[in-house]
Amino acid sequence: MIYVIDHNDSFTHNVVHQFSLFDKVECGNYNNLDIAKLEKSNVIVFSPGPGNPKDYPVTSKIYWKFKGKKKIIGICLGFQQILFCEGAKIIEQKNIYHGYQSNIQVINKKSIFKKGKKFKVGRYHSLKLKEPFKNKDFEITMRCLETKVAMSFENNKEKIYGYQFHPESFLTINGNFLIKKILST
Amino acid sequence: MSKQNQLTEIHHSGEPYIIYKSKEGFDLYTNFSKKIILNNKNINNFLNIKYKRKIKNTDLFIGFFGYELLNNLINIKIPKQKNTIFPKGIFYKPEKKIRMCHNLRYRNKNIFKTNSFKININKDTYTKIFNKFKKKIKSGETYQIKICTKYKTKSKIDPLDFFSRLSKTNLAPEAFMIRDYNYSIISCSPENLITKKGLNISTKPIAGTVKKTKNLSKSKALNFFKKNLKESKEHNMIVDMERNDLSRICKVGSVKISKSKIVEEYKDLFHYVSLISGKLKKNIKIIDIIKAMLPGGSVIGCPKINTLKLLNKQEKENRNIYTGSFGYIKFNGDMRFNIIIRSILNFKDISEISVASGVVVDSNAKHEFNENYIKAKALIDLFK
């Protein structure tokens, strides 16, 4: 079972529908989490959401509790939340991408995706990862072709994955494939 | 008696009635046997309708939910605001329905005295709010937010006269009018928020409007929207948000974009529209649908909850009906609701017109302030 933590976003249920194509999904609101279900799940998904990782201390606690024990996946804010827990700084970006379709590319040969492969993806983020960001277990695996902003990370050892873009958006082509692949590792 | 004369007679009788745009013309509802004034306590009960199989064409409740009621329904409280004590929502049970054609021939030649309209926030205040919200976008607290301005004046009006004239210049697909003893609403809303028939449900958000000119054909308008990055991004956001809201209540895999970014042509303008539809999960109740879809996202901003909170903190005056929803719930569970925009509320001889336009990261305060005025102008002109 996959447990989605909803950070009060207006895209969370698109995420829920997308993950439901592959497994049973339970969704709990950030302010009202079902701990028993969370414990039972195999995969935890941190949803997109407004604001900054600092605003969601409970999600950070959950990350530390289950890191290495369950697969953890972060989308948009969720992506930032995981990196934030790992010591990264999350900062405002000059150009903001809300409702924007971007070309991104796999840039790392340690990725589960083939290096050089391109995707068209939908983006809704004000903030971004401050780089350089160094962490021996985390690899930045995809970047925006135009701005080079980090778009995906993988920690294949502990099964932690994150997408800065929105695989569930109608602006993302082959979004289901992008989810299927990280669920099947 | 002709239908036109029946309408005129009902109008002159002073009895309450409602007109709602249908596919072929207008439906007139009257002879109300029940009037339910909604509040936070009775709304749950009201929405707990038990479905009936066989129904008459008057087996429905028709009316509106105000903005505040819809916020409260999803547990968002609104701070103390300037308030006209207008009801939070009203629904009626009609006993008579008359189908009418498009052409409403009614004029009231009496000239009512109208003072000029006063706006509740001036350009400077608007710019301040605008810049504040822009910062909130940069910090990620909202991705898109709509600032509402309100125009008000003291005047008596003849709502049917207004509505007849309005429907001649702007035959909007979700137009409606309510005339009750102590208030009236005239609206040329273009936006359908919920169409539900059986298990099928759809929503048709509008994001993007351009004024029609001699040189602007429908295909040129489409090009305009496609090339305009700001309009496209706003539209995309609304499409994903509406997919989300439908996904709360629909079966996995059933939510589809049936029409993606098409242009619809109206008398004076072109709208950039998408149609999103889905199949309801089993055991979804009316109240679940209302809570998932209302208030309509395209007039609020995104993400809905946080953006509503930001708006409510900012706004000093109650929105009343504006960005609420008007429509009906049939006794078999089918329903149709619009978003109340482009409307006049006349209550205690005060007419109010609210308008809003969006702040996204690349919008401009002056442009949006003027945009608000253009939206209000078509309605303000009716008073002349």
- The model's pLDDT over B218-252, given as tens digits with 9 standing for 90+, comes to 999 999 999 988 889 989 999 999 999 999 999 99
Give residue-wise pLDDT tens across range B244-283. 999 999 999 999 999 999 999 877 788 899 999 999 999 9
Q: What are phi and psi of A93, to 5 degrees?
A: -110, 160
Highest mean pLDDT among B139-148, B281-290, B370-379: B281-290
Q: Do B137 and A52 touch (CB under 8 A)?
A: no
More confidently predicted of A135 and A95:
A135
Residues of chain A with Cβ-Cβ distance to B234 below 8 Å are 99
pLDDT for B112 beyond 80: no
Band of pLDDT at residue B320, cut at 50, 70 and 90: very high
Instruction: Write the DSSP assignment of B3-63 as a string of letters.
Output: HHHHHHHHHHHT--EEEEE-SSSEEEEE--SEEEE--TTTHHHHH-PPP-SS--TT-EEEE
Q: Token pair of B16, please?
A: 């309450």
**Separation of alpha carbons B366 and B221, rounded Å:** 23
The question of whether A144 is a catalytic residue gets the answer no
Give residue-wise pLDDT tens across range A126-182. 999 999 999 999 999 999 999 999 999 999 999 999 999 999 999 999 999 999 999
Candidates A10, A77, A93, A123: best to mutate against B (most CBs of B within 10 A) is A10
Q: Do B253 and A125 touch (CB under 8 A)?
A: no
> To the nearest whole angstrom, how far is the Cα of A87 from the nearest Cα of chain B?
19
Q: What is the reported pLDDT for B209?
A: 81
Q: What is the reported pLDDT for A173?
A: 97
Q: What is the reported pLDDT for A116?
A: 97
Residues of chain B with Cβ-Cβ distance to A12 below 8 Å are 244
Q: Do B252 and A20 touch (CB under 8 A)?
A: yes
Q: Token pair of A90, please?
A: 């999350």
**Separation of alpha carbons B237 and B345, rounded Å:** 30
Q: Do A99 and B233 touch (CB under 8 A)?
A: yes
Instruction: Report the CATH number at residue B144.
Output: 3.60.120.10
> To the nearest whole angstrom, how far is the Cα of B259 from the nearest Cα of chain A?
13
Q: Token pair of B326, please?
A: 């008007």
Closest CA to B273 of B283, B260, B284, B256: B260
Q: Do B247 and A17 touch (CB under 8 A)?
A: yes
Q: What is the reported pLDDT for A174?
A: 96
pLDDT for A21 beyond 90: yes
Q: Which residue of B has its CA nearest to A169?
A: B240
Domain membership of residue B303 (yes or no) is yes
Q: What is the ipTM of this complex?
A: 0.97
Cβ–Cβ under 8 Å, residues A37 and A26: yes
Catalytic one of A27, A85, A144, A166: A166
Q: What is the reported pLDDT for B375?
A: 83
Say which residue the tokens 């919920």 belong to.
B194
Mean pLDDT of chain B: 92
**Separation of alpha carbons B145 and B306, rounded Å:** 10
Q: Do A51 and B257 touch (CB under 8 A)?
A: no
Cα Rg for chain B, rounded, in angstroms? Answer: 20
Cβ neighbours of residue B108 under 8 Å, at least 6 residues apart? Answer: B158, B160, B161
Closest CA to B34 of B98, B91, B96: B91
Q: Do A50 and B142 touch (CB under 8 A)?
A: yes
Candidates A97, A98, A121: best to mutate against B (most CBs of B within 10 A) is A98
Q: What is the reported pLDDT for B247?
A: 98
First vs last C-alpha separation in chain B: 32
Q: Of B57-61, B211-215, B284-288, give the lowest mean pLDDT range.
A: B211-215
Give residue-wise pLDDT tens across range B331-377. 999 999 999 999 999 999 999 999 988 887 777 888 888 888 888 88
Catalytic one of A7, A27, A76, A144: A76
Candidates B134, B136, B142, B240: best to mutate against A (most CBs of A within 10 A) is B240
Q: Of A141-150, B29-38, B297-306, give the lowest mean pLDDT range.
A: B297-306
B51-59: average pLDDT = 86
User: DSSP 3-state assignment of A97?
Assistant: strand
Domain membership of residue B353 (yes or no) is yes
Closest CA to A4 of A53, A77, A55, A54: A77
The question of whether A166 is a catalytic residue gets the answer yes
Q: Do B236 and A100 touch (CB under 8 A)?
A: yes
Domain membership of residue B182 (yes or no) is yes
**Separation of alpha carbons B3 and B269, rounded Å:** 30
Cβ–Cβ under 8 Å, residues B301 and B21: no
What is chain A's percent helix, strand, coil content, to nearest 5? 25, 35, 35
Beta strand pairing call for A139-144 and A90-106:
antiparallel
Q: Which domains does chain A have, with CATH numbers?
A: 2-183 (3.40.50.880)
Band of pLDDT at residue A82, cut at 50, 70 and 90: very high
pLDDT for B111 beyond 80: no
Q: How many domains does chain B have?
A: 1
Sheet containing strand A2-6, edge to edge, reads A25-29, A2-6, A43-46, A71-75, A160-163, A150-155, A139-144, A90-106, A118-129
What is chain B's percent helix, strand, coil content, to nearest 5? 30, 30, 35
A120-127: average pLDDT = 96
Mean pLDDT of chain A: 97
Query: Taking the C-alpha atoms of A165, A170, A173 and A179 in order, what is their torsion angle to the nearest 10 degrees?
Result: 60
Q: Do A99 and B244 touch (CB under 8 A)?
A: no
Say which residue the tokens 């439908």 belong to.
B246
The question of whether A168 is a catalytic residue gets the answer yes
Q: How many CB pairs under 8 A join A and B?
A: 101
Q: What is the reported pLDDT for B171?
A: 85
Domain membership of residue B215 (yes or no) is no
Q: Which structural domain range is residue B92 located in?
A: 3-198+280-383
**Separation of alpha carbons A127 and B345, rounded Å:** 41
User: DSSP 3-state assignment of A46?
Assistant: strand
A114-125: average pLDDT = 97
Cβ–Cβ under 8 Å, residues B152 and B351: yes
Domain membership of residue B214 (yes or no) is no
Band of pLDDT at residue B141, cut at 50, 70 and 90: very high
Domain membership of residue B261 (yes or no) is no
Q: Of A80-89, A96-105, B188-197, B374-383, give the lowest mean pLDDT range.
A: B374-383
Residue B80 is inside which H or E element, if any? none
Q: Which residue of A has its CA nearest to B298?
A: A10
Partner-chain residue, chosen from B232, B252, B306, that has the shortest CB–CB distance to A8: B306
Beta strand pairing call for A71-75 and A160-163:
parallel
pLDDT for B77 beyond 90: yes
Band of pLDDT at residue A48, cut at 50, 70 and 90: very high
Distance from CA of residue B325 to its chain's centroid? 5
Q: What is the DSSP letter of B280?
A: B
Band of pLDDT at residue B212, cut at 50, 70 and 90: confident
Q: What is the reported pLDDT for A13?
A: 98
Band of pLDDT at residue A42, cut at 50, 70 and 90: very high
Q: What is the reported pLDDT for B173?
A: 93
Domain membership of residue B368 (yes or no) is yes
**By percentage, how much of chain A surpasses pLDDT 90?**
97
Q: Token pair of B93, please?
A: 């049970």
Band of pLDDT at residue B21, cut at 50, 70 and 90: very high
Q: What is the reported pLDDT for B103?
A: 84
pLDDT for B50 beyond 90: no
Closest CA to B203 of B144, B246, B140, B160: B246
Residues of chain B with Cβ-Cβ distance to A10 below 8 Å are 240-241, 244-245, 297, 302-305
More confidently predicted of B371 and B41:
B41
Identify the contact set of chain B against chain A, taking CB-CB distances under 8 A.
137-144, 232-237, 239-241, 243-245, 247-248, 252-253, 255, 257, 260, 297, 302-307, 360-361
Domain membership of residue B238 (yes or no) is no
